[in-house]
């Protein structure tokens, strides 16, 4: 199995409504992620069936049991996306008691970073990623967007920003202007983004 680059969308459970999953599908589609099929046991399901299933689990704050079959958990989706071989998306709700959950989009790392240069991206790849983040950030309920490599730990929850935590940015993260006020941005290039957002670019990364 290849190593994966992850785009992680952080949400607050208090913002869950009856159409939350359908709303995310809308923004993913406009970002250029076109539904291809279900994955890991959900291959024969339609996008509507996957959406309804995941919506029901989210509303009930379902926490996956790692010892259970995937079919008893959130269904995953495969997407076609221009410039990449594809992407896969899935929900994470591993710690529901902390009031947050995540949606993760994974793309093979070899399609993001240059070979043997894990902190280098081609400019055209960076542009594609920025396009994805731009459209996804339009979804009002997203708290942060963080990007990770296979070797990274999990994202830094928004609640930890006030105590010195920094978002994962490999190379990008998107936070709100309010969140930015609590962050040490020394290691980031900071630029205004869309709809009250701020783009953080990790200074350790190169673009060629």
Tell me what pLDDT residue 84 has: 96
Q: Which pTM value belongs to this model?
A: 0.95
Q: Which tens digits make up the pLDDT trace of 110-128?
A: 999 998 898 999 999 999 9
Residue 186 has pLDDT above 80, yes or no: yes
Q: Taking residues 165-188, report their average pLDDT.
A: 97
Helix axes 20-30, 123-136, angle to 10 degrees: 150
DSSP 6: E
Q: Which residue has the tokens 């076609």?
A: 80
Residue 67 has pLDDT above 70, yes or no: no
Q: In a 10 Å sphere around its CB, with 0-12 CB exposed, 13-18 middle and 19+ buried, how is residue 65 labelled?
A: exposed
Tell me what pLDDT residue 2 has: 84
Tell me what pLDDT residue 63 has: 87
Which one, of 93, 84, 86, 114, lies nearest residue 12 by Cα?
93
Q: Taking residues 135-157, report their average pLDDT.
A: 95
In sign, the C-alpha dihedral spanning 50, 36, 7, 132 is: negative
Binning pLDDT at 50, 70 and 90, where does residue 40 land? very high
Which one, of 1, 2, 5, lies nearest residue 172 by Cα?
5
């Amino acid at each position: 199995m290849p190593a994966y680059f992850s785009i992680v969308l952080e949400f607050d459970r208090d913002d869950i409504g009856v159409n939350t999953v359908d709303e995310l599908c809308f923004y993913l589609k406009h970002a250029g992620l076109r539904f291809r099929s279900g994955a890991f046991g959900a291959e024969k399901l339609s996008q509507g069936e996957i959406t309804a299933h995941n919506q029901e689990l989210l509303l009930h704050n379902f926490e996956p049991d790692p010892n259970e079959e995937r079919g008893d958990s959130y269904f995953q989706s495969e997407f076609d996306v221009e410039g990449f071989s594809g992407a896969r998306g899935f929900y994470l709700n591993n710690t529901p008691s902390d009031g947050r959950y995540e949606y993760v989009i994974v793309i093979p790392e070899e399609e993001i970073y240059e070979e043997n240069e894990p902190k280098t991206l081609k400019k055209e790849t960076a542009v594609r990623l920025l396009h994805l983040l731009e459209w996804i950030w339009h979804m009002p309920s997203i708290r942060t967007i963080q990007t990770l490599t296979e070797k990274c730990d999990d994202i830094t929850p928004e609640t930890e920003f006030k105590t010195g935590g920094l978002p994962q940015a490999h190379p990008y993260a998107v936070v709100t202007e309010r969140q930015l006020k609590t962050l040490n941005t020394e290691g980031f290039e900071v630029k205004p983004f869309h709809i009250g957002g701020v783009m953080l670019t990790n200074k350790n990364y190169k673009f060629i």
